[in-house]
Structure 1
Amino acid sequence: MEMASTAESVLVRDSKVRDSAILSFEPSAWNAFVTAAVAGEFVSL
């Protein structure tokens, strides 16, 4: 995974597939995702 951030968005793409789509998230949404991942909220998926 590769990530870049600006004031307006967080950009994420698959580093192994460089031609893959670039996903764009609002910083608050990305922060909520990372916080949930660190808290283990996705363990049962």
Structure 2
Amino acid sequence: MIKIGDKVFNTRVFLAPLAGCSDLPFRLICREQGLQMAFFEMLS
């Protein structure tokens, strides 16, 4: 379990910001698989 401010996540796995492979469809698929926290695509 991870707590960030007043948010509590029941997982120890987060999706890190990745250039070129963290667009919305990818994040939605990850969400369907149980992902609780994801970041927007990294800009470079």
TM-score (norm 2): 0.26
TM-score (norm 1): 0.26
Q: Which structure would you say has the larger RCO, counting Cα contacts within 8 Å and 6 or more residues apart?
A: 2
More helix by share: 1
Whichever of the two has the greater Rg, that structure is 1
